[in-house]
Amino acid sequence: MAAGAEALHFRVDDGDPHDRLDKLVVHLMERAGRATSRAAVQRWIAAGRVLVDGEPARASVAVRSGALVDVRPEEPSPSAAMADPGVAIPVVYEDEHLLVIDKPAGLVVHPARGHASGTLVNGLLALPGFALAPADPRDPMGHVRPGIVHRLDRGTSGLLVVAKDEPTREALKARFARHEIEREYAAIVAGEARDATYDTLHGRHPTDRLRFTSWIRSDPGAGGAAPRRAVTHVRVLERLGDAATVVACSLETGRTHQIRVHLAERGRTPVLGDPLYGKPPKKPAVRAIAEELGRQALHARVLGFIHPATQRPVRWESALPEDMRRALDQLRRLATRSSI
């Protein structure tokens, strides 16, 4: 077996997955408190770092009960992104495993085309504990996302959790996949919203590659990615006349642009100031408020989950940022004048 990290030894039980070696090793590693990605396991197998009864095997091979599996994990490659101490990161909680930040609107989460620096990831790498943060091996585009388990759009503010190590990252990703993360957003929307649950398919728009849509076929046709289920619960918090509404949006799933798509397409009440899914409000006063805001009025205000290391529930709340509070005050005054 290749040299490197200390080997872990497992005996396969009847209740373990048997159909593929890579799936089995992911399961065994999670059981041992060393959660890792399937892509990483496949790299270990290809490098001869996983043995079944003392012999190398393919990732696709079935494994019998009672077999002995030896795994020598390979340390992940460090991120290639450059540290940037100039990126301001408002940290609301930190321990040795993770941190929670209150992301300001305008901050891009990870380096990508057009944003090679100045992102949250660049700022994280300048913090203690992130100097050797691993890149996520699953990203097919090679984007560097150390510790990133979910994201917020550039124009969305609010709470975001970041993992400091691979086991925490994989455990949090699994919780997101099982819908075990509490997430609630506050939004100011144009028009008169209502309490609703939107349970739809969700996928990339067939003609506009920047957008996503809930009006999509279950079979996207040749070359298209299969749409996925998206569920958003909307609750009215405050009505601002007929011009706008403040709503709370709770997520069961976390698809790209999910809230923005559901509010615009299904509720017909797009997020105020949304440059992609909204339209300029008809009323000049409301349009001026949206233009002054300069971004979608969407804020991730609640984040909660079971901490992967302590197994205790943790939860944070974030107040509306100053720009959304100002827009809300202006809309309240406008609604009061309109009702006189």
Q: Which residues are catalytic?
A: 153
H helices of the chain, in order, are: 21-31, 38-46, 120-124, 166-177, 258-261, 284-293, 322-339
Nearest partner of 176 among 155, 153, 157, 151, judged by Cα: 151
With H, G, I as helix, E, B as strand and everything else as coil, classify residue 47.
coil
Radius of gyration of the chain (CA): 23
Sign for the CA dihedral angle at 256, 262, 265, 268 comes to: negative
Q: How far apart are CA 235 and CA 319, in angstroms?
A: 17
Sign for the CA dihedral angle at 73, 74, 76, 78 comes to: positive
With H, G, I as helix, E, B as strand and everything else as coil, classify residue 18.
coil
Contacts of 47 (CB under 8 A, 6+ apart): 2, 74
Q: How far apart are CA 164 and CA 168, in angstroms?
A: 7
What's 258-285 look like in SS3?
HHHHHHHHHCCCCECCCCCCCCCCCCHH
Contact in structure between 255 and 202 (CB atoms under 8 Å): yes
Q: How far apart are CA 186 and CA 150, in angstroms?
A: 18
**324 alpha carbon, distance to own chain's centre:** 22
Token reading at 183: 């997430």
